[in-house]
Amino acid sequence: MARDLTKEKVVQKAAELANELGDVHQLKLKDLAAALDIKVPSLYNHVKGSAGLIDALRIHALSELSGILQDAMVGKISEEALVAAAQSYRTFAHANPGIYQLVIQAGEPGSEVERIGKNSLSFLLLILGSFGLQGDEALHVVRGFRSLLHGFVSLELAGGFGLDLDLDQSFERLIKDYISGIQNL
């Protein structure tokens, strides 16, 4: 046999399909195999079943998000950098509604996921330094910032906001209020 199918192509296609479906758990191996024009058991040559596919998609999603955030922040400081990061985070979620949910889990010590997470963390800590935040102070704020980003976008993706009220404005206001809050120590 030997077509030019690789793990990367399998994961890429799975990400596309999951994003079309809006939820990675809606994607069945049957659908993925069909899209790749192979039979289901052949997928096992590339990923360790559905659990292995999810793991691979998590790394795929995290790498992408991490890159996007760093691109958004590079060359900026303090408020401008945080606002740019927030906007990019939300844009990533909108563009990846199916796999977004995979980025929230912290990695096991020593894992690829942990490595990517630490990388983004150190970038954010650099920015928070420009606010005068250091040590545990800064770490608490990173947790807070992540919480509000994840909370907003996950509610948005889940259809959690029922009111007829502009979402962009709500998001902008949330980020502004929080940044304002961390400045009044």
Residues that bind DNA (CB under 7 A): 1-3, 5-6, 28-30, 38-42, 44-46, 49-51
Residues 6+ apart with CB under 8 A from 62: 102, 103, 113, 116, 117
Does residue 92 contact residue 64 with C-beta atoms inside 8 Å?
Answer: yes
- To a second copy, the closest distance from the beta carbon of 148 in angstroms equals 4
Side chain identity, residue 50: S
| Residue 173 DSSP one-character state | H
Comparing CB distances to DNA, the nearer of 41 and 110 is: 41
The helix/strand/coil state of 130 is coil
Query: Smaller CB distance to a second copy: residue 68 or 174?
Result: 174
CB of 79 to a second copy, least distance (A): 12
First to last CA, the chain: 64
Residue with smaller CB distance to DNA, 52 or 67: 52
76 binds, among a second copy, DNA, none (CB under 5 to 8 A by kind): none
Nearest-approach distance from CB 141 to a second copy, in angstroms: 7
Six token digits for residue 7: 């793990």
The two structure tokens encoding residue 88: 């990019």
Closest approach, Cβ 15 to DNA, in A, equals: 16
* Cβ neighbours of residue 48 closer than 8 Å, sequence gap 6 or more: 55
| Cβ closest to a second copy, residue 8 vs residue 166 | 166
Residue 94 contact among DNA, a second copy, none, beta carbon within 5 to 8 Å by kind:
none
The total number of residues written for the chain in this structure: 185
Contacting residues toward a second copy, per CB under 8 A? 25, 104-107, 114, 117, 136, 139-141, 143-144, 146-152, 154-155, 158-163, 165, 169-170, 173-174, 176-182, 184
Would you give the distance in Å from CA 119 to the centre of its chain? 14
Tokens read off for 134: 């250091």
Q: Which is nearer to a second copy, 46 or 60 (CB)?
A: 60
* Min dist. Cβ of residue 86 to a second copy (A): 12
